[in-house]
Amino acid sequence: MTNCSEGYHNGPIDYQFDSEHIWHPYSSMLHSQAVTGVVAAQGCELILDDGRRLVDGTSSWWACVHGYNHPVIIEAMQTQLHNLSHVMFGGITHPPAVALCKRLVAMSSDSLTKVFLADSGSIAVEVALKMALQYWQGQNQPQKQRILTVKNGYHGDTFAAMSVCDPEGGMHTMFGNAVTPQLFAPAPQSKFDGDFDTSDLEPIAQLLSQQGNEIAAVIIEPILQGAGGMRFYHPEYLRGLRKLCDRHNVLLILDEIATGFGRTGKLFAYQHADIEADILCLGKALTGGYISLAATLCSDKVAQGVSESPSGVFMHGPTFMGNPLACAAACASLDLLAQNQWPQQVSNIETQLKQQLATAIDYAAVTDVRVLGAIGVIEMQHTVDTAALQSRFADLGVWIRPFGKLIYIMPPYSISPSQLSQLTDAMKQVAKHISDTDIDKHHQHQAEVKFVSHG
């Protein structure tokens, strides 16, 4: 019998139990990979069980924008915890949900007026897709059931979300016919800060004109394709896509789960293109990364269509919908953003990343270096060994978890210039090391995985 009465606040960590019994993201229970024990975090540092402090380059998968242990968010959550940690949302409402939804409606584009609170990004995407399908039922066009998207996308790990992830490197092949077949256009090719090539939109325009009658919605990550390759594409693509959706009577779902709340230099990435979504998915940084919460916003038009569908109601209602503790954390996080320090912080990070990462392009195994807002990417020639690099980075005093061919960071906005330098130094050191030593070994590399999820 395992002793279950041990303390759990700060260890010691039973690593053997962890490796034998606990699944980590995208992991095997048979060949478990080493995990790093974290017992606390402060500001932009993770504190390990052996006392080491690592500068965090990931914001805990792009969510923790204000840093850890922020007194304002902690206070909001503590106060809420003593009032009401959770209550069902069916037939009940509460102050933090109302306060949060008021903020979300006010800060997003004018046409987005209705909010559905869900528990994770993937569920926010499921909700968005269901809204689109029910909308067309309400419009007496129930044949509009297909979803159109672009390659290299990532929208989550649940089944409908998987169906719109990149069809080649994603999980389609793994789950075969269990995943709904959707329509895919090539990924946008024109780079964010390059010239726009109008032919970029041609394939998606063609799909919309040929099959618009059966397409309910287009879903896309605006400006940044995240887990599908950290690709920054041209705002003109989004502007053109918005027009095409209008022309062919198709809803536009923007998945801002990774980009929302300032990450790309605008509060929402769609603002780079000055367009509005019919349905908008938010998550990750919504609570400042303190607790899971996501939101799907839609326009009056979509909400009305849903209500005119045969069921008359929107068919979704998770147990922890609108969790008050999460809503309180989100309100506090949005209040911090409203102090408006983030535009300068993100702009400073962008400038520093551009200055400090640029020389990495000279290393033999580096194929591209790119920066947008508080996102810095070094793309390598070959898929990297995530576990090995993770521990090499830890030895250099930083927490960076590469995936696929990408060594990237998305630090908290509150990171100091010297902490950021620590991250960029480590990235360059590792990229150089791979270039100097590993380049000849790559022919032994495991079958190259084009898309490896953000794990």
Catalytic residues: 26, 154, 255, 284
For ligand PMP, the closer CB: 155 or 401: 155
Of all residues in the shown chain, the one whose CB is closest to ligand PMP is 121
Q: One symbol per residue from 243 to 262: x for binding ligand PMP (CB under 6 A), - otherwise; what is it? A: ------------x-xx----
Q: Decide whether 228 or 324 has the Cβ nearer to ligand PMP.
A: 228
Shortest approach of ligand PMP to residue 255 CB, angstroms?
A: 5
Q: Is 353 in the site for ligand PMP (CB under 6 A)?
A: no
Q: Which is nearer to ligand PMP, 281 or 337 (CB)?
A: 281
Nearest to 424 by CA among 404, 452, 397: 397
Are 407 and 431 spatial neighbours (Cβ–Cβ below 8 Å)?
Answer: yes
Kindly tell me which of 121 and 240 has the beta carbon lying closer to ligand PMP.
Answer: 121
- Is residue 175 within 8 A of residue 245, CB to CB? The reply is no
Place of tokens 């809420």: 80
Whether 306 contacts 136, CB under 8 Å: no
d(CA 379, CA 377): 6
Query: Contacting ligand PMP (CB under 6 A), which of 227, 369, 375, 377?
Result: 227
235 binds ligand PMP (CB under 6 A): no
Question: Nearer to ligand PMP by C-beta: 122 or 323?
Answer: 122
Angle at which helices 324-338 and 95-107 pack, to 10 degrees? 40
Q: Taking CB under 6 A as the rule, does residue 219 contact ligand PMP? A: no
Give the range of 32-40, 181-189, 221-229, 331-339 binding ligand PMP by CB under 6 A: 221-229
- Cα–Cα distance for residue pair 32/35, rounded to 1 Å: 9
Sheet holding 38-42, edge to edge: 38-42, 45-48, 53-56, 398-399
Contact set for ligand PMP, span 271-290 (CB under 6 A): 283
Helix (H) or strand (E) holding 398: strand 398-399
CA–CA dist 153, 259 (Å, integer):
13
Structure letter (DSSP) for residue 179: S
- DSSP assigned state of 441: G
Question: Which region, judged by CB under 6 A, interacts with ligand PMP, from 10-18, 148-156, 379-387, 442-450?
Answer: 148-156
Site membership for ligand PMP, residue 151 (CB under 6 A): no
Residue numbers of the site for ligand PMP (CB under 6 A)? 120-122, 125, 154-156, 221, 226-227, 255, 257-258, 283, 454
